[in-house]
Amino acid sequence: MKEASTLRKVVISSTFATGLFLATPQMADAALGDQTLRKGMDHPDVKELQEALKKKGHFNFDRSTGYYGTITADAVRDFQRKHNLQVDGIAGPQTLGRLLQEMGGQAPTSTPSTTTTQTTNSTLNNTGLLRFGSNGTQVEQLQQKLKEKGYYSHTITGQFGRVTEAAVRDFQRANNLVVDGIVGPQTLSRLINQPVPAQTTTYEPNVPKTEERNQQTKSETTQSIQTSTTLRVGSRGSAVTNLQAALRSVGIFNQEPTGYYGDVTETAVRNFQRVHNLTVDGIAGPNTLRKLNEVATNKSSQSTTQAPSTTQTKQVSNTNSSTSSAALVTNLVAEAANQIGVPYLWGGTTTRGFDCSGFTQFVFKQQGISIPRTVAQQWNAGRSVSKPAVGDMVFFETYQKGPSHNGIYIGNNQFVHSGSSTGVAIASMDNPYWKQRYLGAKRLY
């Protein structure tokens, strides 16, 4: 198959598409070994990869194209197979490390141009929003400032990806800012220790104008949502307030209802839709609203003239238990989604890098659930289930006998895990590598 060299747009169509992209990310220039390479990428690093594989007799196309297509993926698999690596066709840290070792050297480190703090502050102060998918000099300067403050420990690439987003979130969390991974005026001013410029409009996700916000009710009591309407980004009013309160009641909208449908509300809707097997479009249409009415926990209480019967009490208890589990599963999936792209790190337990069990432990910890540290301990702590449901943990036997790798099941025979070649990513249980190594599923909540 001939590999096209035309720049391809990256379309993320998995169950974890977050809806935060302003534009298709352009990969920043970097040296081979600085990033994971995979099918669909068009980048100078891919060309270096192809040339290295060609020298080792694995890439047999007549020229290096810079596009990672089927021929390149097959060449990577051939190399992985020869060196007893996970055969997935993805050039991750282990594969690239072994290839560079075979080439007799390490990848050169990308060194950003030296920029004084004063210049960096001035440039960053004049920039607009920086978010996932942004790239260029301003992102380089952002990464440098985050690095100086101890939140970013990776190569300065100029590409705002998941690692940069995680660093921004950590910074925002530590400085009591809105934790959205987006660098607006408030985050920038705190980052460069300067006040927000007088003419700058403060970026407040999902917050309408002050006079409109003051008219909104602050009550978290969820009213029944009219399912005949459709709410989307830009919508305002009491229907949006009720939607946000309902989303908050299931744990995936972590701020006061504002009555404005912005990026944060859209992301919460997407996360809710994923867990309940609805169309993931970030639009609260009839099907989404109907399901949300079913599971929201803070429904308006209706007066009653007599005490509920024992049967009714049991039914309410069971409903609350079911709803609580649904909220937990929603939160588990949402948290796992936030970590996609975090690199693999042996022994890693933070957003700077995870190993497989460090990742699962972190996700559960964010929901207030303490689970053991290692894969084997997590296997022993879980309750066996015959068939995994969303939120269950799936286990595999890889480099040693018994459970040695795991991930969180997200439905559609897919799971999210921290793989040594991929970092935190989605994988299919139908993949032959995982299918033949599958041990079973456990429930840890």
Q: What is the DSSP string of 289-347?
A: HHHHHHH-S-BPP---SSPPPHHHHHHHHHHHHHHHHHHHHHHHHHHHHHTTTPPB-TT
Q: Is the pLDDT of residue 196 over 60?
A: no
Task: Report yes or no: 188 and 124 within 8 Å, Cβ to Cβ.
Answer: yes
- CA–CA separation, 438 and 441 (whole Å): 9
Tokens encoding 220: 């978290």
- Between the CA of residue 383 and those of 30, 38, 379, 395, 442, what are the distances in Å? 45, 36, 8, 12, 5
Helix, strand, or coil here: 409?
Answer: strand
If one compares 321 and 408, the residue with the highest pLDDT of the two is: 408
- CA–CA separation, 86 and 77 (whole Å): 8
Average pLDDT of span 61-73: 83
Q: At what angle do helices 263-275 and 238-249 cross, to 10 degrees?
A: 50
User: Do the first three CATH levels of 117-191 and 210-295 match, i.e. the same topology?
Assistant: yes
Q: Is the pLDDT of residue 213 over 80?
A: no
Q: Is the pLDDT of residue 364 over 90?
A: yes
Q: Is the pLDDT of residue 26 over 90?
A: no
Residues 6+ apart with CB under 8 A from 129: 182, 183, 184, 203
Neighbour count for residue 279 (Cβ, 10 Å): 10
Helix, strand, or coil here: 135?
Answer: strand
The bridge status of strand 383-385 relative to strand 414-419 is: unpaired
Segment (H or E) for 408: strand 405-411
Q: List the CATH code of the domain at 1-110.
A: 1.10.101.10
Q: Which residue has the tokens 């022993």?
A: 380
Report pLDDT for 251: 66
Helix, strand, or coil here: 195?
Answer: coil
Lowest mean pLDDT among 87-96, 238-247, 269-278: 269-278
Average pLDDT of span 58-71: 83
Report pLDDT for 195: 59
User: Residue by residue, what is the 3-state secondary structure of 16-48?
Assistant: CCCCCCCCCCCCCCCCCCCCCECCCCECHHHHH
Tokens encoding 89: 């066709």
Report pLDDT for 14: 34
Active site residue 58: no
Report pLDDT for 161: 77
The confidence band for 430, taking pLDDT boundaries of 50, 70 and 90, is very high
Task: Calculate ∠ Cα 404-88-159, nearest 5°.
Answer: 100
Q: Is the pLDDT of residue 363 over 80?
A: yes
CATH entry, 117-191, from 1.10.3720.10, 1.10.101.10, 1.20.140.10, 2.60.40.1940: 1.10.101.10
Percent with pLDDT over 70 in the chain: 72
The confidence band for 33, taking pLDDT boundaries of 50, 70 and 90, is low
The confidence band for 128, taking pLDDT boundaries of 50, 70 and 90, is low
Q: Which of 43, 58, 276, 356 is catalytic?
A: 356
CA-CA-CA-CA dihedral for 66, 69, 75, 81, to nearest 10: 130
Average pLDDT of span 231-260: 81
Task: Report yes or no: 200 and 127 within 8 Å, Cβ to Cβ.
Answer: no
Q: Is the pLDDT of residue 416 over 80?
A: yes
Q: Is the pLDDT of residue 120 over 90?
A: no
Instruction: Report the candidate in 334, 367, 344 with the shortest Cα–Cα distance to residue 444.
Output: 367
Q: What are phi and psi of 323, to 5 degrees?
A: -65, -40
Report pLDDT for 157: 79
Instruction: Tell me the per-residue pLDDT of 329-359, one tens digit each, with 9 for 90 and over.
Output: 877 888 888 788 889 999 999 988 999 999 9
Instruction: Tell me the per-residue pLDDT of 375-405, one tens digit each, with 9 for 90 and over.
Output: 999 999 999 999 999 899 999 999 889 999 9
Active site residue 356: yes
Report pLDDT for 6: 29
Give the best-scoring range by mean pLDDT among 248-257, 304-313, 432-441: 432-441
Q: List the CATH code of the domain at 210-295.
A: 1.10.101.10
Residues written for the chain: 445
The confidence band for 104, taking pLDDT boundaries of 50, 70 and 90, is low
Domain ranges of the chain: 1-110, 117-191, 210-295, 338-443
Q: Average model confidence (pLDDT) for the chain?
A: 74
Report pLDDT for 429: 92
The confidence band for 16, taking pLDDT boundaries of 50, 70 and 90, is very low
Report pLDDT for 2: 38
Residues 6+ apart with CB under 8 A from 118: none
Neighbour count for residue 420 (Cβ, 10 Å): 19
Task: Report yes or no: 92 and 41 within 8 Å, Cβ to Cβ.
Answer: no
Q: Which of 43, 58, 276, 417 is catalytic?
A: 417
Helix, strand, or coil here: 219?
Answer: coil
The bridge status of strand 349-350 relative to strand 353-354 is: antiparallel
Report pLDDT for 440: 96
Task: Calculate ∠ Cα 14-70-97, nearest 5°.
Answer: 85
Report pLDDT for 109: 36
Residues 6+ apart with CB under 8 A from 327: 249, 250, 251, 252, 295, 297
Residues 6+ apart with CB under 8 A from 10: 24, 25, 40, 41
The confidence band for 210, taking pLDDT boundaries of 50, 70 and 90, is very low
Give the best-scoring range by mean pLDDT among 205-209, 218-222, 263-267, 294-298: 263-267
Looking from the CA of 30 toward its CB, the CA atoms found within 13 Å total: 21
Report pLDDT for 124: 60
Instruction: Tell me the per-residue pLDDT of 168-190, one tens digit each, with 9 for 90 and over.
Output: 888 888 888 877 788 887 888 88
Residue type, position 185, single letter:
P
Q: Is the pLDDT of residue 47 over 90?
A: no
- Between the CA of residue 86 and those of 55, 369, 398, 436, what are the distances in Å? 21, 31, 9, 13
Tokens encoding 359: 């990742």
Task: Report yes or no: 199 and 125 within 8 Å, Cβ to Cβ.
Answer: no
Average pLDDT of span 132-140: 79
Lowest mean pLDDT among 34-38, 248-252, 271-275: 248-252
Average pLDDT of span 155-160: 79
If one compares 213 and 333, the residue with the highest pLDDT of the two is: 333
Active site residue 43: no
> Which pTM does this prediction carry?
0.41
According to CATH, the topology of domain 338-443 is endopeptidase fold (from Nostoc punctiforme) (3.90.1720)
Average pLDDT of span 255-263: 81
